[in-house]
Structure formats: structure tokens, C-alpha cells
Amino acid sequence: MSTTVADVSKETKAPAASSKTNRIGLTMQDYRGAESTLCAGCGHDAITNSIIKAFFELGVDPHMVAKLSGIGCSSKTTNYFLNQSHGFNSLHGRMATIATGSSLANRKLINIGVSGDGDTASIGLGNFSHMVRRNAHIVYIVENNGCYGLTKGQASATADRGTRMKSGQTIESAPVDLCSLAIQMGCGFVARSFSGDTQQVRTLLKAAIAHRGTAVLDIVSPCVTFNNHEGSTKSRCTKWTSFPTTKTFRSSTKKAPPKSSRCTTVPGSP
């Protein structure tokens, strides 16, 4: 009996590789969401991938997570991970308020909020401060690019003094330092990192998820379209002397730990 080409193809086809599963039997794909519509190379996408990997590695059941966001490029990213979890996209600057309500309504859920420097440090600054003061149970991520990427790159409240924006404007006022503010408001977990250091971001996310209370992660995330040029202090890693200073404080810590020798503060930042 002759063998057809189709038969040979079927016989020689390699078996599909089994997908790696975590401790609750889910694959990495179970933690993904929709395809990103952000600009190619956006730092926010790197943070999204770190979030996916952190939840996968911890073995968190997606339906036990509530995703919260406000308005802006950063707030679009909650659509790109954990598509089997709960979600609420709020008004501009109001995500912290919604997070407080979610924390009170269901103590069993893990709340993760993704906000931006404009959404948090400008219109939402008051709500953010009261959320921290109330110690709502949430992992609060600020994807900090120092500009309003969704509305053509105007400077945000976290733009460092001396920064030259793409429009030619030089920032003369002092920035809002969200980490310092969170520490002053008594936040028990505060960290600052860089989106390009995915291993560090993932480690911090795991620690923040395990923390009971408000965990604030200020992550410098370059806007490749409007704030990735010479003169920006929130551009890609190649613009830095090294990675930004990473600070992780807990409420029991009396004194800030010494800076790592491989980390340097960006010139012009507080």
C-alpha cells in the first residue's frame, strides 16, 4: 500500500511541547490579556510582562485578583494582563478611591492598580494621599514617564527640574516625589525601580503582593514617543549613568538603607 504525502507529514510531525504550569496548574498564557496597543518599545509593556510573570510564579488564581486603573497610557495596560480577573477602569485621578472601596468590599481579593504620573501626582494626588493614609490593601503601581503620553507629551508633575521636554520647554519647578510623599503618609511598603530592570521589578512585585496593606511602586517607564530624547531624565537606560536609585522601605524601618553601589540618582532629581 502506497503512503501519501499527507500520511508522511502526519507520521513525522513532532509532538507539541507541553506548556509549563505553575503550582495551581495554570500556564503563563492564563495570565495574559489582550494584545498591547501601546507604542512599540514602550516601558509600560515591560512592566505588564513583569506583572504576568510575577502572578504566574506566585501561583495566584486570576479570579482572586481585582485590576484597577484610571485614565492614561498606563491605565490601558490593565487590559493586557490577567484577562480572567475582575477589573474596573475609573475616571481620571480616581483610581485610588476605587481601590479603597474594593479593599473594603472584599478583603480576600488581591487589588492591583496601575496608574500614571499624571493620574496620580496631578489630578489624583489628594485621593492617592488618603488611600495611603487609610492603608488600603492594594499594589499601587505608578508607571512614571514624566509626561502625558496620551495627550502629546506635556510635562507632568513628576518631571524633574531642569528637564527639557520634546517641545523645547525646560521644567523650572520641583517635581512631586511620590515615594517621599508615601513614606511621609506612613506607607508600609514603598519602592522605586526602572521598567528595563525586569528581574528587579518582578521581585518587587512579588514582595508587594505579599504585603498586607498599601504597597506603592514608582517605576520609571520611558515614553519612547514624547520623552525619550537627550535632556530627559526619564528616558531609556542608556541615558542614565546606571539604573535609577531603588528604595524599598517598610514601616518598621527607622532609617533608610544605604544606596546600592550600582545605583545612582539621576542628576537634577531630588
pLDDT at 100 over 50: yes
pLDDT value of position 155 = 64
Cell of 137: 490593601
Taking only the tens place, the pLDDT of each residue in 215-267 is: 999 998 887 676 665 666 666 543 444 344 444 444 444 344 343 333 333 33
To the question of pTM greater than 0.85 for the whole model, the response is: no
- Write down the mean pLDDT value for the chain: 78
From first CA to last CA, the distance across the chain in angstroms is: 80
pLDDT at 147: 64
Domain-by-domain residue ranges, the chain? 38-250
At residue 89 the predicted structure's pLDDT band, cuts being 50, 70 and 90, is confident
Choose between 257 and 179: higher pLDDT.
Answer: 179
Question: pLDDT higher for 148 or 186?
Answer: 186
User: Could you tell me which residue, 221 or 204, shows the higher pLDDT?
Assistant: 204
pLDDT of residue 145: 82
Q: Spell out the SS3 assignment of 193-242.
A: EECCCHHHHHHHHHHHHHCCCEEEEEEECCCCCCCCCCCCCCCCHHHCCC
At 119-177, the pLDDT tens digits run 888 888 899 999 999 999 999 999 888 766 666 657 667 777 777 776 767 767 888 89
Q: Which residue has the higher pLDDT, 210 or 229?
A: 210
Check pLDDT > 70 for residue 184. Answer: yes
Question: Nearest-CA neighbor of 43 among 261, 259, 193?
Answer: 193
Strand partners, 116: 143
What is the rounded average pLDDT of the residues 100-124?
89
Q: Which pLDDT value is given to residue 176?
A: 86
Class of domain 38-250: alpha beta
d(CA 94, CA 110): 19
**pLDDT for 235:** 62
Give me the pLDDT at residue 266, please: 37
Q: Could you count the other beta carbons within 10 Å of the beta carbon of residue 170?
A: 11
Does the pLDDT at position 96 exceed 60? yes
For residue 23, pLDDT beyond 50: yes
